[in-house]
Amino acid sequence: MNRTFVSLMALAIGALGGCARNQGDPPMVGTLERDRIEMIAEESEPIMSIEVREGAHVDAGQVLLRQETQVAQARAAELQAQIAQARQKLTELERGERVEVVQQARARVESAAAMAARDQREYKRLSELIQQRLVSQSQLDQARAANDSSQANLREAQQQLNALLHGNRIEDIDQARAALAAAESTARQTQITDARLIVRATRPGVVEAIPYKMGERPPKGSPVVVMLADTPAFARIYVPADERVRIHPGTKAEIYIEGQKAPIPGFFRYVASDSVFTPYFALTQRDRSRLVFLAEVEVSNDQARTLPAGVPVEVRLAGEGRG
């Protein structure tokens, strides 16, 4: 009986000690956050109108801000002209030369053939006269050169006609098609970029900040509207190194927010594998010189949807409580 009683007392004391140890552990601290969305300026154009106010709730696709589009319209017109030019060039290559051009080539062949026949007859006549010593050797040489030149001109004219009759090379047509496709792709890309001069909400949420005022020219790539998305809130906290082994994605937790009587349930959705040094705002006496792991605890319900981002929070594992 005595041994059994002593054993039960030891187990009870150990359990109480464990509870006291858990309740005495410092909380994991951080801030309540939401997904932050920055809508950037696609071009450095003046802001013509601002359609919403800071703090307003917007839906996906709603217009937030408009920039000047005159330069974009001129650029679009230029690209459309380039597309038309490339399309006409492709059509020209596919159809081949006009009938009038082919007829001109045929006429050049006939003319070259007539000249070649004339020069050939002249060369033969002088060849017979040279044997009778009625012409000089220089006259025969000139006739031979003229005959050779006429024959070459005839072959050249015939080859030009053959080229017209066979049509354009398939490689030239393929290059024209590729040039047209490139022009159309550039126009589509520019059209998408220019459409973003009208800044729209990509997700539903709350407008957090509008850094620039109407009439200002924001630099290209700078945020013009900052939003907080309508996604589940989460606590960004730092987990002490000695607690890291107990925490993994899916571990349930309780989020304590100043001014809220009851904790908000949540779960760890991310825990970093690499440690960092304890941030300055988490430097309690016990936490100094310790390594911590960045983690995110997602809220399981809508209790924190109306709370502002950035409020301090304390997180404990579910069931441990504040003590």
**CATH for 254:** 2.40.30.170
User: What's the structural domain count of the chain?
Assistant: 3
Q: Would 221 be classed as within a structural domain?
A: yes
Boundary of a domain, candidates 209, 229, 249: 229
Per-residue pLDDT at 3 exceeds 50: no
pLDDT tens for each residue of 196-252: 899 999 999 999 999 999 999 999 999 999 998 888 789 999 888 888 888 999 999
| pLDDT-above-90 percentage for the chain | 33
Please state, as a whole number, how many other Cβ atoms lie within 10 Å of the Cβ of residue 11. 10
Which domain, by its residues, includes 245? 25-34+231-317
Are 247 and 209 part of one and the same domain?
no
- Kind and range of the H or E element at 71? helix 70-95
Tell me how far apart the alpha carbons of residues 73 and 217 are, in angstroms, rounded to a whole number. 18
Q: Would 16 be classed as within a structural domain?
A: no
Exposed, middle or buried by CB within 10 Å (0-12, 13-18, 19+), for 239? buried
Per-residue pLDDT at 16 exceeds 50: no
Count of H-run helices and E-run strands, the chain: 5, 14
Q: Which range among 104-113, 194-203, 254-263 has the greatest average pLDDT?
A: 194-203
Boundary of a domain, candidates 155, 188, 221: 188
Nearest to 70, CA basis, from 93, 46, 92? 46
Are 119 and 89 part of one and the same domain?
yes
Are 86 and 116 part of one and the same domain?
yes
Per-residue pLDDT at 155 exceeds 80: yes
Q: Would 123 be classed as within a structural domain?
A: yes
Instruction: Please report which confidence band the pLDDT of residue 287 belongs to, taking 50, 70 and 90 as the band edges.
Output: low
Per-residue pLDDT at 298 exceeds 60: yes
pLDDT, averaged across the chain: 82
Instruction: Tell me the CB-side half-sphere exposure of residue 176, using CA atoms within 13 A.
Output: 18
User: Quick check: 265 and 232 in contact, CB under 8 A?
Assistant: no
* DSSP SS3 for 36: strand
Alpha carbon separation from 112 to 15, 54, 100, 151, 293 (Å, rounded)? 115, 83, 18, 8, 90
Query: Among 14-23, 34-43, 123-132, 144-153, which is the least confidently predicted range?
Result: 14-23
Per-residue pLDDT at 22 exceeds 50: no
Question: What tokens were used for 299?
Answer: 């809220």
Are 125 and 217 part of one and the same domain?
no
Tell me how far apart the alpha carbons of residues 147 and 263 are, in angstroms, rounded to a whole number. 108
Are 82 and 184 part of one and the same domain?
yes
Per-residue pLDDT at 323 exceeds 60: no
Strand intervals (E) in 83-218: 198-200, 205-209
Total-model pTM: 0.58
